[in-house]
A and B are shown apart, each in its own frame.
Chain A
Amino acid sequence: MNRLEAKGFELEPLHLAPHGLVVTKQPVSIGATLEYLQGFYYIQDPASMMVAYEIEPRQQEVILDMAAAPGGKATQILQLSRDQAFLIAVDISRQRMRSLRSNINRMGFRNYILIRGDSRRLGLREAVDKVLLDAPSSGEGIIRKDPTRKRSRSLEDILSLSALQADMLSAAVNYVKDGGVIVYSACTLAPEEGEAVISHVLERHPNIEVVPLSIPHSPGVDEYFGVKFDKSVRRCGRLYPHIHGTEGFFICKLVKRP
């Protein structure tokens, strides 16, 4: 922080996240400093940071990140565990995998395994302690930054993403051990990609339950256009640009009962 301030950057603490800083003035791009290249920080939206806090990574835990690239949450998990948790980070995209590897290398972590492939077909031989699924989404949550998102996705796209998200979350339930935690998130405010996915998976897997979040949030919606979801989705969280000052985000924490 001192080094950046000496270079003319102005930074403020982020009230939502203890490790976050908001850049209020940048003489050059914050992503082009020697400090960035040496891996002192990662640039991401506060909403994305909140997800890793819900995982609460601890030393020696095996944590699976099912859609890890480009690595904002993966690197934060390793940072929060002081590189002492074992992270299995999976992504299907070859190009995004390169970004993930680059970011993990840049930040100098060593307790990780990157796997490229479909995270629904990992063939895990043993269950893991925790799973993070930051699901591929329509990206509606970033309309504020990228207005083209308003029109770049059709209703069919959202429905097809919703089915994929439910599939991935079902796989996550199978991967996590009894008593283990799953954190589901999506950069969107569309209930089809949030509460509907959770409700569907709760129906399919009666052994999981939604648990309250520790981060500031607005509650999930339990009804949308006359469609009623499982009541417990109200424990999930929504982050709104106009309320929380973040991207639009949906976060839900689930526990697998023994």
Chain B
Amino acid sequence: MQAGEEAVVRLERLSAREKAVIIAFLESLRCPGLLDVDRLYALRVRGGKYYNVFEVDPSLLQVTALTARAPYSLGFNAGTLDARSLSFRPSLPLALRACRLCRAGVIECHVLDDRGAAVFTYGKNVWPEHVLAAGKGLKPVISRRGDCLGWGILMSHNTNKYLHPLRDLGWYLRRGG
């Protein structure tokens, strides 16, 4: 959760440490070009538990100077960084960008069958019989037709393996408004 309504919001460049976290994430996908790390900015809310990270073009940055009001959101939403642990959660727009590279064979993806895709977009874990191809760790998730579904991570509990949705497109219906 972010801080309250009257919280102070600032748009700032990412620190070297924060940038390193995102570079490590991109390297885990083996796709360092997925985000332009030099154009990443954080929208920091004082007292917030996480902050949103945006890829902002210099021309758009000039437009932000037109108003003294802090933005609520801007540019390409890359994901969120946990304020304490600095763990990075990639966004759904970044999933859509990454999935295009899955289809082109540049990025490794988790691939689900129709049943798995339906379950995944309800934000539920997907059992291995519905996973047609699995990558290692956090990866974009696509359907067998190549439709983007979100981000998922392969997990195991005792001897059972399953695909856990970190972000799924169904969120837009459940929470997006």
Contacts and interface: CB of A to CB of B under 8 A. Distances in A.
Given A34-B147, A70-B177, A101 B73 contact: yes
Interface in A83-132: 86, 88, 94-99, 101-106, 108, 110-117, 122-126, 128
Main secondary structure of the interface of A (DSSP, over half): mixed
B72 A108 contact: no
Nearest to A112: B74
Contacts of B32: none
B72 A37 contact: no
Contacts of A86: 59-60, 63
B172 A37 contact: yes
Contacts of B67: 88, 115, 122-125
B47 interface: no
Contacts of B96: 38-39, 108
Interface of B: 5, 55, 57, 59-60, 63-77, 91-93, 96-97, 117, 121, 143, 147-149, 169-170, 172-173, 175-177
Nearest to B64: A113
Contact of A113 (B55, B71, B92, B143): B71
Nearest to A116: B72
Interface of A: 31-32, 34, 37-39, 60, 62, 70, 86, 88, 94-99, 101-106, 108, 110-117, 122-126, 128
B74 A122 contact: no
A96 B176 CA distance: 10
Specify which of A88, A117, A122, A123 lies most central, judged by the most chain B CB atoms within 10 Å of its CB: A88
B59 to A, nearest CB: 7
Contacts of A105: 73, 77, 91-93
Given A88-B67, A110-B76, 10 more contacts: A34-B121, A38-B147, A38-B169, A106-B176, A110-B55, A110-B75, A111-B57, A113-B64, A115-B69, A115-B72
Contacts, number: 97
Contacts of A117: 69
A37 B71 contact: no
A97 B72 contact: yes
A122 B177 CA distance: 25
Contact of B93 (A32, A62, A108, A126): A108
Given A110-B55, A115-B72, A125 B176 contact: no
A97 B73 CA distance: 10
A98 to B, nearest CB: 5
